[in-house]
A and B are shown apart, each in its own frame.
Chain A
Amino acid sequence: MAKQRGGGAGRPQAPAAAPAAPAANPELVRKYAWPEQPAIVGTSVKRLDGPDKVTGRAKYTFDISRPGMIYGRIVRSPHPHARIVAIDLSEAQRAPGVRAALEHKQAGAQVMYHGDAVAAVAADTEERAIDAARLVKVQYEVLPHLANVEQAMDPDASQVFQGGNVRQGQTQESGDLAAGFTKATETVEATYSTHVITHVCMESHAVVCEWDGDKLTAWVSTQAVHGSAQQFANGLRIPQTNVRVVTQHMGGGFGSKSQIGAEGILCARLAQAAKVPVKLTLDRKEEHLDTGNRPSATAHVKAGVGADGMLTAFDAESWGTGGAGAGSNFPLPYIYQFPNRKRVHKDVYINAGQQRPMRAPGHPQGCFLTEILMDELADRVRMDPVEFRIKNVPADAPNAKWKTYLPEAAQLFGWEKRHPTGDAARGPIKTGFGCSVHQWGGGGRGSQARCEIMADGSVVMKCGTQDIGTGTRTIVAMVTAETLGLPLSAVKAEIGDTLYPFSGGSGGSTTAASVSPAIRLAAGQALENLFAKVAPTLGVDPSTLVATSGRIQVKDNPSKGLVWKDACKLLSTEPIAADAQWQPGLSGSGTSGVQFTEVKVDVETGIVRVERILAIQDCGLVVDKLTAESQVYGGIIGSLNFALFEDRILDRVTGQMVNPNMEWYLLAGMSDVPKIEVHLKNQPERGVIGIGEPPTVSTASAIANAVRNATGATIRSLPLTPQKVLDAIEQQKAGGTL
């Protein structure tokens, strides 16, 4: 996968170059359009790998054990910025159990952040590998570093990055800003910001590499098996055909696992040097430091609104940091229509680990920065926030249904009980309501699949996609069974291996929309081949046949046909193998949703408790209702973490992360999770779209607006820590807000 540097305003990453694929076949697409009355698609199907996961049988990369396998460990820079003077591996090489030690960077090279990889060792046990890593002697010449955005933006700061610490972006402008502000009866001018968070995959990044001559097999905890193979090939300078990547189960990626990283290449090189398989798993600290993060976002905004509640003008200067040399762009303003607008963005580089795409890259930031402003503007013109939003969102379209969803959600939520900004109730516990809107792209691209039907009637669908916890394995089987008119138990889904046809990385909510059409068409093509075998026996034309309820039969004469197994017997010694690839027509793109929250804020302690959340979310054709709903629950809880708990905290002096663990890097537990009500909208006419990212965009904004509604104090930055809530309340009492 291409390294995404700019955040890309949420665009999915470009897929790795796809090999030549079967030719487009619009006729097949027409014939295998999604059925109007599906038997399986759209129902709630339990994920097929559930039993393996709940019993511990499912093997994640962390669980892979190979004969003779040893353990790798990376030596990392303790400095945020330094030049390597010398690396001495000799003592590590002599340590007990050590089988390989090698440099990752050479003398003269620079390390750019705390945790940057420098060298690696491998030993017969993990404990001994950790011991040996400590014996690698690296001599550093410490260089000036930038520990935060403020330092980096100081014109007097050391120029740490080639070409400057700040990269000025292009100015986006439309309309007439001055005229827009003249029309405004009210303006708000303030600075809004969001913080850096890390992905915190429960299974940290992990690799097992095993060489057989010049061929490499790698078990990788990845969101992209084919993309990983390409990266191994490029990094090791070997043909991609010599690399096999396997990922049967993986413990969460959220965007951080589309790159094999330093650990991937080092694991392969250690295995080559030691001549035995090597397992390299990152510990929790390494995971925080060196596997990506969501960039920060800040915007100084001036916005205007007319007395009629229509937005008139938006003028913003924004910046953010994606770490050492990585971008931080995000969409701004988010969704709402300003006829006159200007925005200029700059990327600020600091000495911290580089960002990677994180669940809906750019959108949670742009959404928060815009949505808090919306409630402030609504108050200025004394308008209800829902009514204000309905006025200013774009007109309804299939991928933009806020004008429909907002009133519907308001009614379901009991929005009429909302009080004006600032809960006037007595006592320290204040209640507040908030809402927010969001959008996402999603959509399909070049997945390939192969359907095999054997003479004994067994069916396997092979696709080089991967299940990152979203339920992909299950929908591969569902679409296959639906298309062949078989029960789910009669088909096998084989995924997570580069031995299977090319499929892109799981990013940008594109997997379901890429894979489902490929599966549908591969199964359809296989079925057409089977019809051709069966038709002569039945004495009919193949075009009259259909597959339904475990039979191949004549459409207008159901009694004339064969049960599946008997039909397949006709294949004799020539089983069917049919290839197909994604084609337009079975998937769509663009989703929209709204979320409403209720919070309780203790104004004496500053503690925010989210009481309930209501979400309306669409994603085109729902394939598996059960797992699609799970994605929405999960996205919402992820965004609740973003709002209230998690925060990557760097020491302002040393640039080191002070909470690289899971006890001071906070995440919600069971007691922190509110009642969540999900209303999933099925839009079968739009085809499959994808739902992994959209639900995680707007919860944080809705929570922040609810806190504002409860306390009457505006907090313009995340996370909403108790201290920040108390400060905002104090400021507000003193006549202003933060």
Chain B
Amino acid sequence: MAPKDEKHDTTERTGVSRRTFLKSTGVGSLAVGVVGAGEAEAQTVRAVGPGDIPITLTVNGKRVELRIEPRVTLLDAIRQRADMTGNKRGCDRGACGACTMIVDGRTVYACSTLAIDVQGKQIRTVEGLSTGNTLHPVQQAFCDVDALMCGFCTPGFIMATVALLEKNPRPTEEQVNRGLDGNICRCGTFVRIKEAALTAKVVARG
């Protein structure tokens, strides 16, 4: 398996990678054990939840207001609370890429990103790409070359491809490999996904 450099690279820099996510949740109790009582108290004051809290997300340019427990991921908040089910949950731990969204221009694994951490950021999902009945060029390319079979990984692959092409509209084959290595397709559609990524006409986006 090739390392999923591109995805880890990009998510790390946005501060919402799976690793950061684990740091902020799973290791919490350990942290309490090593800090002084005063610091622990200070943390308690800052803590939210565990019950529902109000949050506001900006999804595809629209404000979405939700009441959720702080532990809810970006993916579950959008899928189960906002009923935007385009992006999928495959592994729920940042390994398959079916949940890939674009946050402030970079791909993230939404299954491993807390919803409360991306308030105030621009979140893009697969629902936000097409305009009316006109498909985004990446979506059109996927349809044209049959770059999908069961289609469950497709929204994640499309978001990863869009993010790649907006940065680099004319990637080499090697750059496509690296850009899409964070996504898994079990039906085995890779040959045609690559073809779609190499032929889609996307305009660079700052």
A residues near B (Cβ < 8 Å) are 46-47, 49-51, 53-60, 62-63, 65, 125-127, 200-204, 249-252, 254, 281, 283-284, 468-471, 626-627, 629-631, 633-638, 645, 661-663, 666-673, 676
Contact = CB atoms under 8 A, between A and B. Distances in A.
Given A200-B186, A667-B186, A670-B176, A251 B151 contact: yes
A56 B136 CA distance: 12
A125 B66 CA distance: 14
Interface in B22-59: none
Nearest to A221: B152
Contacts of A63: 79, 85
A638 B189 CA distance: 10
B69 A669 contact: no
Contacts of A662: 90-91, 93, 95-96, 184
Nearest to A200: B186
A56 B149 contact: no
Q: Which of A203, A645, A669 has the most CB of B within 10 A?
A: A669
Nearest to B185: A202
Given A56-B126, A283-B92, A662-B96, A249 B143 contact: no
B155 interface: yes
Contacts of B155: 54, 56
Contacts of A50: 142-143, 146, 148
A29 to B, nearest CB: 31
A635 B149 CA distance: 12
Given A54-B148, A671-B177, A127 B69 contact: yes
A252 to B, nearest CB: 4
Interface string B184-205: 1111111111100000000000
Interface stretch (B9-17, B114-122, B127-135): B127-135
Contacts of B146: 46-47, 50, 626-627, 629-630
Contacts of A249: 150-151
A140 B31 CA distance: 35
A55 to B, nearest CB: 5
B194 A670 contact: yes
Given A46-B144, A671-B177, A671-B181, A60 B152 contact: yes
A54 B184 contact: no
Contact of B90 (A53, A56, A202, A254): A202
Contact of A55 (B126, B149, B150, B184): B126
Contacts of B87: 56
13 contacts: A47-B143, A55-B135, A56-B155, A200-B186, A202-B153, A251-B88, A251-B151, A251-B153, A252-B187, A627-B146, A634-B188, A662-B95, A672-B1
Interface string B69-98: 101100010011001111111111111101
Nearest to A46: B143
B107 interface: no
A59 B150 CA distance: 12
A127 B72 CA distance: 8
Given A49-B151, A55-B129, A634-B187, A670 B85 contact: no
B90 A284 contact: yes
Contacts of B1: 645, 666-669, 672
A224 to B, nearest CB: 15
B119 to A, nearest CB: 19
A305 to B, nearest CB: 35
Interface of B: 1-2, 4, 69, 71-72, 76, 79-80, 83-96, 98, 125-127, 129-130, 135, 139, 142-144, 146, 148-155, 158, 176-178, 180-194
Q: Which of B98, B126, B153, B190 has the most CB of A within 10 A?
A: B190
Given A54-B139, A56-B86, A284-B93, A630 B186 contact: no
Contacts of B127: 55-56
A127 B114 CA distance: 14
- Nearest 7 A/B pairs, CB to CB: A56-B86, A251-B152, A469-B150, A637-B188, A634-B188, A53-B151, A63-B85
Contacts of B84: 56
Nearest to B194: A670
Contact of A203 (B2, B80, B88, B192): B88
A126 B183 contact: no
A203 B152 contact: yes
Contacts of B142: 50, 54
Contacts of A201: 150, 152, 186
Given A251-B88, A627-B146, A669 B181 contact: yes
B162 to A, nearest CB: 11
Contacts of A630: 146, 149, 187, 189, 192
**Majority SS at the chain B contact face:** loop
A202 B181 contact: no
B150 A250 contact: yes
A469 B149 contact: yes
A49 B191 CA distance: 20
A633 B191 CA distance: 7
Contact of B98 (A200, A202, A469, A676): A202
Given A56-B125, A62-B152, A203-B90, 9 more contacts: A50-B146, A51-B135, A60-B85, A125-B69, A202-B184, A629-B146, A633-B190, A634-B188, A671-B177
B57 to A, nearest CB: 17
Contacts of B149: 252, 469-471, 627, 630-631, 634
Nearest to B79: A63
A254 B95 contact: no
Contacts of B96: 202, 662
A59 B84 CA distance: 10
Contacts of B180: 669-670
A252 B186 contact: yes
Contacts of A667: 1, 184, 186
B189 A633 contact: yes
Contact of B95 (A127, A663, A671): A663
Contact of A661 (B76, B79, B95, B151): B95
Contact of B188 (A59, A251, A635, A645): A635
B23 to A, nearest CB: 17
A113 B191 CA distance: 38
B58 to A, nearest CB: 18
Given A56-B126, A630-B146, A671 B178 contact: yes
Contacts of B80: 65, 125-126
Contacts of A634: 149, 187-189
Contacts of A125: 69, 80
Given A55-B135, A63-B85, A669 B183 contact: yes
Nearest to B96: A662
Contacts of A204: 90
B173 to A, nearest CB: 10
A203 B150 contact: yes
A540 to B, nearest CB: 42
B165 to A, nearest CB: 14
Nearest to B181: A669
Q: Which of B90, B150, B153 has the most CB of A within 10 A?
A: B150
A202 B188 contact: no
Given A469-B149, A630-B192, A671-B177, A202 B143 contact: no
B6 to A, nearest CB: 10
Contact of A670 (B72, B76, B193): B193
B139 to A, nearest CB: 4
Contacts of A638: 186, 188
Nearest to B179: A670
Nearest to B76: A126
Nearest to A636: B188
A52 B182 CA distance: 23
Contact of A59 (B85, B148, B154, B189): B85
B186 A670 contact: no
Contacts of B176: 670
A202 B76 contact: no
A91 to B, nearest CB: 18
B190 A202 contact: no
